[in-house]
Structure 1
Amino acid sequence: MTDVEFHFNVPDRQAYACRLLRKAVRKGAGVAVTAPPATLDELDRLLWTFEDTGFLPHLRLAANAAPAPLQQRTPIWLVDRAEQAAHLPVLVYLGEQPAEGFGSFERLIEIVSTDPSERESARLRWRHYASRGYAIKRHEVTA
């Protein structure tokens, strides 16, 4: 069963996602990120400029696209639909509704900011996962 984690009180979801993805790449883990297209486009830009002396290797895959054979070794996949990257162990989710297709991943990470409306939608997602029997870990992010 998928391990579900919520990271709460994140001041900047995109910057936090970049740090989380950097950590995963350094550990050799493959990660998929799914979110609304505009959010993925923004994250795509940030991953190129997040570090002054480098970038985080990633690919942005549109809903109906397939990666080229060499791209399949890329550690970070930004995808419109989770099933496009179901071969990876971790899914980072930046959406508002419960993540679709998360059950094929070993781990689901939800990133939640301090915004009240975002926290409310996270509570609904938490209840959704809990009602389906998923054990959920809560991480409080501190500055």
Structure 2
Amino acid sequence: MFEAKRLRINCLRLTPKADETLTNISFYKLAGDQNLAFLLICQLVKKARKQDQQVLCLMPGESEVMSLDKAMWAFEPSSFLPHGTGAESSPIAVSCDAGPGDHHQVLINLHSEIPTWFSRFDRVVEIIYQDSDYEQSKRDSFVFYKERGYPISYHDLTDKFKPQLP
């Protein structure tokens, strides 16, 4: 019987998930704005796709969906991140309002709220960029996950993640 490998995103590296019962939650803190978050998302998606994982990127609105779509097209001119926007069935989906569809492996949540269906995923990635209201919503998310006993990892990339534009 086919069983999908569960992944753990750890400092931009994907490794097998240790805890098979609960969704693993990873927080990544950046010293930059939403555009830097889009670049981190592209790197995380690329790593996940190398391991044949499906990824759903949940954005707060249509403008962010379009911005991430553009970032994925421009991320590496010599390669392609096969993605779709909206409810399309694609290994990588970028959406602001569609449900999880067929995705269940990696959820990258840039939305300020936690979707009710987050626990169907093996891994949830929460990215924190510099915006006071947004940072507070992610603090609230951290408390939500912690109070419910989800395994949480926190990665401070404020001094480490400074990618150069292609």
Q: Could you give the per-residue CA deviations for residues 28-80 of structure 1, whole angstroms, max 9, x where no partner exists?
A: 1111111122212211121111112232100112xxx5x4xxxx4x3211123
Matched, 1:33 2:49: no
Q: Is the 8 A contact 2:54 2:92 kept in 1?
A: yes
Q: Is the 8 A contact 2:56 2:103 kept in 1?
A: no
Q: What TM-score, normalized by structure 2, do the two folds share?
A: 0.72
Matched, 1:48 2:69: no
Q: Is the 8 A contact 1:30 1:89 kept in 2?
A: yes
Give structure 2 stretches of 5+ with no counterpart.
1-21, 162-166
Query: Which structure has more RCO (C-alpha within 8 Å, separation ≥ 6)?
Result: 1
CA distance in structure 1 between the aligned counterparts of 2:78 and 2:122, rounded to whole angstroms = 31
Give structure 1 stretches of 5+ with no counterpart.
none
**RMSD, aligned CA:** 1.9
Q: What TM-score, normalized by structure 1, do the two folds share?
A: 0.82
Which SS does the other structure have where 2:135 is aligned? helix
In structure 1, give the amino acid aligned to 2:103.
H
CA distance in structure 2 between the aligned counterparts of 1:10 and 1:104, rounded to whole angstroms = 30
The corresponding residue for 2:42 is 18
The corresponding residue for 1:134 is 150
**Greater helix fraction, Structure 1 or Structure 2:** 1
Q: Is the 8 A contact 1:4 1:107 kept in 2?
A: yes
Matched, 1:2 2:23: yes
CA distance in structure 2 between the aligned counterparts of 1:138 and 1:86, rounded to whole angstroms = 27
CA distance in structure 1 between the aligned counterparts of 2:98 and 2:58, rounded to whole angstroms = 6
- Name the count of aligned residue pairs: 134
Equivalent residue in structure 1 for 2:101, among 82, 85, 100: 85
CA distance in structure 2 between the aligned counterparts of 1:30 and 1:119, rounded to whole angstroms = 27
Equivalent residue in structure 1 for 2:128, among 103, 108, 112: 112
Q: Is the 8 A contact 1:91 1:102 kept in 2?
A: yes
